[in-house]
Amino acid sequence: MNRVNIKPGIRVLIVLKKDQQSGRLTEGIVKDILTKSSTHPHGIKVRLKSGEIGRVKEILS
């Protein structure tokens, strides 16, 4: 997953810190991109408009 593919306003599935064991995904709209590097082995960290923070697992739109 590359940081250039993720833009504020797109719909994504993320895994929250508390859900990393279960792998449960949370859907939301990206508000901020928190990862500074262009790639990350566990996914780019983002903040959703809901305020939740997690790593992007899938881009929906």
Q: Where are the domains of the chain?
A: 3-59
- The 10s digit of each residue's pLDDT in 11-52 is 999 999 999 999 999 999 999 999 999 999 999 999 999 999
What are the tens digits of pLDDT across the range 7-19? 999 999 999 999 9
Structural contact between residues 31 and 49, judged by C-beta atoms closer than 8 angstroms: yes
Give me 47's structure tokens: 């903040």
Q: Which fold has domain 3-59?
A: SH3 type barrels. (2.30.30)
pTM for this structure?
0.94
